[in-house]
Amino acid sequence: MHPEIQRRLVHASGVVIPFSYLGGLITWEHVQVLFVLCTLCAFVLEGLRLSGLLQWQIFDTLTRAYERDHVAAYALYMIGTTVVVLTIRPEVAIPALLLLMIADPVIGVLGSGGGLTMKPFRVLATMFVICTLIALPFVHPVPAICGAFAATVADGAKPVIAGYVIDDNLTIPPAAAVSIIAGQQLLETVPSVGL
């Protein structure tokens, strides 16, 4: 199997925890504990990987060239999702997580635009539509669109700061969650127009 497909499957496997919550199998407190534990494991693995003490083939397969000497995307994924899980209520956190866990890997398979440059418009438009559809079962259309827009912007380009790539795995969940909340607050302050 191609490494990019493997990366995307690992990415999407994160849905197990939010879907377990949605299915009533675990409580939100369980979700929070699981995310913290997974993040701690990611920190340990990354520390060992970056120090050279742990050299597993899976790291070579699942990390990109620009991650070889920097914190890998999976650790940033855990940081971004855990921040949201610990600070945002479930009805907003769940769609924010799913935008990263489902929409981002789907878009990655469809085409990223290659490398670190801005993604093509068709890819961004597809990301926006998929994100909106994912968020709609959880929130009103206005916050869903706000969250989808933020996730699309976060996914659109990978800024490089001091030689370090700021991966969208870190930015999609918090950007989407904050934007969903902003959309909800907008609905509360603007008179209803039949939406």
Helix ranges (DSSP H) in the chain: 3-12, 16-22, 28-51, 57-62, 73-87, 90-98, 104-110, 121-135, 141-156, 168-189
121-177: pLDDT as tens digits: 899 999 999 999 999 999 999 999 999 999 999 998 777 888 777 889 999 999 999
Q: Per-domain residue ranges for the chain?
A: 3-189
10-25: pLDDT as tens digits: 888 999 999 999 999 9
Separation of alpha carbons 87 and 35, rounded Å: 12
